[in-house]
Structure 1
Amino acid sequence: MVSLEIAFQVINGADVGLPVLLAIIFGVLGSAVGAVWAVIFAICFAGLVALGAISVSKKLPKLQLAYAIIQIILVAVLFLFAMICLMGMAKTAYDMIKDNSEKQWTPKMKAYLKNKDEVDKLQQQLKCCGTTAYKYEDSKYPNSCCEIRPCTVAFPKACNTAEAEKKIEVLPAMVTLLLVQLPVKIASITLIMLIRKRLMT
């Protein structure tokens, strides 16, 4: 019984990792709202972890059952969310990142001299020039827009497009994280139900 309880407490504690990772991913995607929701999600998960820990340490079968039911619901939600990510969310996330990037960089590129270092760094790293909403005049391409200087033939890709393409690469990792978390949850459900069964007999 003690070994089951120890195994449960270890797996239960690992359960908080998912929302923390989601907060990091949303931060990388540039979604402040997503990151805030992930933090709220983390706080809720911490409460669930506490519920599981207390129910096992205090030997409370009713709380153990409540914990298991909540975890089963979360398993279903996580699986559904992972499938949505795989089937259609990639396009939505791409458009969101592209629009946010355009809003962020267009004003900075219009005032290029004021934001030169920041804009140059972006354009050189992503091999891009301007945004979908703003194109430099041919005679005024900054050198960071070109591979060869002086700049006469600019990189063809807009920076908001290039930035969205780079950030969208994390979505497969996000789906993987969601799917990796499922065995942790299933293991915690199995262990707590075994503990509960022993308590009830």
Structure 2
Amino acid sequence: MISLEMAFQVINGADVGLPVLLAIIFGVLGSVVGAVFAVIFAMCFAGLVALGAISVHKKLPNLQLAYAIIQSNIVAVLFFLAVICSIVMTKTVIDMIKDNSEKTWTPKMKEYLKHKDEIDQLQQQLKCCGTTAYKYEDSKYPDSCCDIQPCTVAFPKACNTAEVEFLVGGFPIAVSLFLVPLPVKIASITLIMLIRKRLMTELSDESEN
């Protein structure tokens, strides 16, 4: 039969293993942002894993309690961040970002020469041309609207749409990174509190004897 301590050490170790696995998966899929976030999580969790392992191995109830408190706070923060990311992905917020982008870029594009460098950088980086509220005339596309010169066939995507996709595109990855560790963390908190409860009972019995 697996002891509570052994089960905890396995679950506790998985706290680092899961972000590392996610980093490998995202790396294979070509998602650099996802892989970087996963590696950062793994590095942050490594110290906490060590704290938990030591507290159980050395039978230190105060350290076990500290571990449980820290893990509980992390669970709350991760869940909060996941909720925030989910809210950002809702249609209402996306439309709001899109409208704000349109209001920002449309006046500048109407004065293209005045804001040329800024607009060219945006259009080349996001592979977009104009905004929903402003279209360049076919014969007057800026060079930044195309990959091939002379610019006659512009990028089909409007820049306010492209900017929203760029800003919001990484949020589904963030949500998964925030949620995936939660079951392991909740299990580790439950196990270490059971271990601590049993340890406190044993210490109490010893003091009475």
TM-score range, shorter chain: 0.5 to 0.7
TM-score by length of structure 1 reads 0.59
The number of aligned residues is: 171
Q: Label 1:109 to 1:87 Cα distance change in 2 as closer, same or farther (>3 A).
A: closer
Question: By how many angstroms is 1:61 displaced?
Answer: 1.7
Which runs of no fewer than 5 residues in structure 1 stay unpaired?
30-34, 112-118
Within 5 A, what are the aligned runs for 1:1-201? 3-16=3-16, 17-18=18-19, 28=33, 39=40, 42-88=42-88, 91=93, 107=117, 110=120, 119=124, 123=127, 128-129=128-129, 138-139=138-139, 141=141, 145=146, 151=152, 155-158=156-159, 161-166=161-166, 168-200=168-200, 201=202
1:93-121 CA distance string (max 9 Å, x none): x95xx7xxx9xxx748748xxxxxxx4x9
Matched letter for residue 28 of structure 1? V
% identical equivalent positions: 58
Matched letter for residue 191 of structure 1? L
Tell me if structure 1 keeps the 8 A contact 2:145–2:151. Answer: no
1:47-73 CA distance string (max 9 Å, x none): 211100111122222211111111122
Q: Label 1:10 to 1:164 Cα distance change in 2 as closer, same or farther (>3 A).
A: farther
1:133-189 CA distance string (max 9 Å, x none): x9877435459749xx9825652512x641541552332342233223221111001
TM-score by length of structure 2 reads 0.57
Tell me if structure 1 keeps the 8 A contact 2:61–2:199. Answer: yes
Secondary structure, counterpart of 1:192 in structure 2 = helix
1:72-95 CA distance string (max 9 Å, x none): 222222222222222347749x95
- Could you tell me which residue of structure 2 aligns to residue 32 of structure 1? none
Secondary structure, counterpart of 1:15 in structure 2 = helix
In terms of Rg, which structure is larger? 2
Question: By how many angstroms is 1:131 displaced?
Answer: 7.5
Q: Label 1:85 to 1:150 Cα distance change in 2 as closer, same or farther (>3 A).
A: closer
1:32-56 CA distance string (max 9 Å, x none): xxx79x83x6544322111001111
State the alpha-carbon separation in 1 of the partners of residues 88 and 153 from structure 2: 39
After TM superposition, the structure 1 stretch with the greater mean CA deviation from structure 2, 172-181 or 59-68, is 172-181
Which runs of no fewer than 5 residues in structure 2 stay unpaired?
106-115, 203-209
Q: Label 1:136 to 1:194 Cα distance change in 2 as closer, same or farther (>3 A).
A: same
Root-mean-square deviation over aligned CA pairs: 4.7
State the alpha-carbon separation in 2 of the partners of residues 69 and 79 from structure 1: 15
